[in-house]
Structure formats: structure tokens, C-alpha cells
């Protein structure tokens, strides 16, 4: 019986030390992590709305759209919206920021995803996401390469990922009319 107390006490000591170490690490890293996330989101918004110098959050959420920021240029004129939208890809959620102005997509950035490395993960290459800039209306994915303005060339062997991103952009473009 005494043995059990000894074992339990020692295990408790190990747990307490581990808990304290984790708590300390959390306290030290909490603010820098929040700052990094903030910076990354800001960077994504700037990436899709190149003219904007300040952003203001707009109260809007619909379907898979989670956050909307309106961008203003240096003179204070609106230069479009940066919309955070979640698409459902092959490996889970794909979070991306889509820029839209007057119903036209100004660009997209993928901020987090869990797609297959080497396949769906190529959606973060500019060769893929760069295709969306300047597009409008209802977009479709073409596995054999885009043949017209409303088509997007799919990533080889990652049609699900390509379609997920395209559908999310479509959703933003469709919602843009009620935004503006």
C-alpha cells in the first residue's frame, strides 16, 4: 500500500513539472503567436488587394464566408473587399482570402490547408492561385487546361482541391453583389 503512495507521488511531481514547463512556454509564446497570425492575415489581405493601405472589418458572414474586410487606399476611397472563406478540400478545410472589387476577383491567397504534399498542396503555388486574378462570374475547373476566361486549369491529380478552391471563389463572387 505504501508503495502505491510513493509511485503516485513521484508521478504527480513529474506531471506538475511538465505542467509548469508547458504553462511557462505558453505564456512566453502566446503574444508572439497571436502577432504572427495577425501579420499573416494582414499580409494575405494586402496580397489580394494591392491598392489598399488600411482595412476595416465589415459585419458580414454567410455560408462559408467567415470574415470580410473592406480595403481603403491612401486617399480613403474603397478599393474592394478581402473575404476570408473556407473551402472543403481533400484533406480538410482550406482557408483562403479572396479579394473582390466590382464583382471581379482581384486575387486569392491560401492561408491554411491540409492537402496532400506534392499534390493538393500545390494550390499554394502561384501557378495555380494566380489564375484567379481578373476572373469574374461562375468559374469551372478544366482538367485539360483552361480554354476560356471562365475556366481554371486544375492541379494535376488534385481535382478535388482545385474544385474546392474554385467553388469557394465562386461563393465569394456570388456574395459580392450583396456586399457592394
- Interface with another protein (CB under 8 A): 6-7, 10-11, 14-15, 18, 21-22, 25-26, 28-29, 32-33, 36, 40, 114, 116-119, 156-157
- Closer residue to another protein, CB minimum distance, 25 or 61: 25
CA 69 from centre of chain: 14
CB of 12 to another protein, least distance (A): 10
The whole-angstrom separation of Cα 48 and Cα 170 is 16
Contact 96, 87 (CB under 8 A): yes
Nearer to another protein, 37 or 78 (CB): 37
Element (H, E) at 81: strand 78-88
If the CB atoms of residues 119 and 174 are measured against another protein, the closer one turns out to be 119
Dihedral pair phi/psi, residue 143, rounded to 5°: -70, -25
Nearest approach in angstroms of CB 24 to another protein is 9
Relative to beta strand 93-101, strand 65-72 is unpaired
Separation of alpha carbons 69 and 59, rounded Å: 9
* Pick 117 or 145: Cβ nearer another protein: 117
Q: Give min distance, CB of 18 to another protein, in A.
A: 4
Shortest distance in whole angstroms from residue 115 CB to another protein: 10
Amino acid at each position: 500500500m505504501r508503495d502505491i503512495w510513493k509511485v503516485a507521488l513521484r508521478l504527480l511531481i513529474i506531471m506538475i513539472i511538465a505542467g509548469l514547463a508547458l504553462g511557462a512556454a505558453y505564456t512566453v509564446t502566446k503574444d508572439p503567436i497571436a502577432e504572427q497570425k495577425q501579420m499573416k492575415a494582414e499580409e494575405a489581405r494586402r496580397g489580394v488587394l494591392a491598392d489598399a493601405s488600411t482595412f476595416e472589418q465589415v459585419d458580414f458572414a454567410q455560408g462559408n464566408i467567415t470574415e470580410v474586410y473592406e480595403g481603403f487606399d491612401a486617399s480613403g476611397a474603397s478599393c474592394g473587399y478581402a473575404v476570408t472563406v473556407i473551402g472543403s478540400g481533400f484533406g480538410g478545410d482550406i482557408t483562403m482570402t479572396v479579394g473582390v472589387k466590382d464583382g471581379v476577383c482581384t486575387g486569392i491567397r491560401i492561408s491554411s490547408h491540409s492537402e496532400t504534399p506534392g499534390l493538393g498542396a500545390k494550390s499554394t503555388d502561384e501557378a495555380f492561385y494566380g489564375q484567379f486574378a481578373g476572373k469574374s462570374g461562375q468559374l469551372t475547373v478544366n482538367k485539360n487546361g483552361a480554354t476560356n476566361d471562365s475556366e481554371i486549369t486544375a492541379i494535376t491529380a488534385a481535382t478535388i482541391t482545385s474544385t474546392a478552391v474554385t467553388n469557394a471563389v465562386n461563393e465569394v463572387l456570388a456574395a459580392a453583389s450583396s456586399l457592394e
